[in-house]
Amino acid sequence: MAVVDFKFALEQVPTVLKGVPWTITIAIVAMLFGLILGLLIALCRIYKIPVLNQLSILYISFIRGTPLIVQLYVFFYGVPVLVDYLNPRLGLQIDADEIPPLLYALVAYTINTAAYQAEIFRSSINATNEGQMEAAYSVGMTTRQGLTRIILPQAFLIALPNLGNVFIGLIKATSLAFAVKVVEVVAISKIIANDGYRFIEMYLVASIIYWVLCLVFEFIFFKLEKRMSRSEARMGLNTSA
């Protein structure tokens, strides 16, 4: 018997690919909500909002200092306990058993990636020219207008390469979602591997799928960064003209 049965591996590819939509869904949803939460946390730190600034520092330190899989387990096993505790006290009737595992994964991944994106946004916003906000005030803009129209677009361009790296990391990190019963690429691979005792073949298939996904999204972020850089250059030329 061959050490690696490539024919068996190829036959299983279509089945394993059924987990790809869940892998991409977790990564995209966590990235989008992480962007929003991360930006809010970054602004709390930049403007040193009382209490929220200290809580943000603690949150970032804790999330970045603990393994993602532990965070997944905390949500998966902790939320049902919390729900059972709150139900009689708040008059709720939430059945924790009906909460889909995907929801636990989405929340855990969002909270995890938001901590990293907060630091990316904070450094990117600080990297913009401070005089631009003063110029915005001089023409009658409010702080919100100056941020949304001048500072944040530039900060986003500065942050884009790092945000791309975060997203690629998310794609790979979704491989841990099987630990909370989400049937994605690794979960399907494990099921097939356990049934046929073909662990090398199945994990090889899974690794190639993750590799291809990373290559695709690396290309997308490269094109996006290039396009935004050209747009900024054109805007700069129009402004100077």
Does residue 25 register a pLDDT over 70?
yes
CA atoms within 13 Å, Cβ hemisphere of 19: 27
For residue 132, the model assigns a pLDDT of: 79
Q: How much is the mean pLDDT over the chain?
A: 90
> Does the pLDDT at position 64 exceed 90?
yes
What class is the 6-240 domain? mainly alpha
Predicted pLDDT at 239: 45
Domain boundaries, the chain: 6-240
How far is 206 from 174, CA to CA, in rounded Å?
Answer: 12
C-alpha–C-alpha distance, residues 58 and 37, integer Å: 15
78 has a pLDDT exceeding 70:
yes
Confidence of residue 233 (pLDDT cuts 50, 70, 90): low
Res 216 pLDDT > 60: yes
User: What's the pTM?
Assistant: 0.90
Q: Where are the beta strands (DSSP E) in 79-156?
A: none
Dist. CA 199–CA 224, nearest whole Å = 37
Rounded to whole angstroms, the Cα distance separating 176 from 135 reads 47
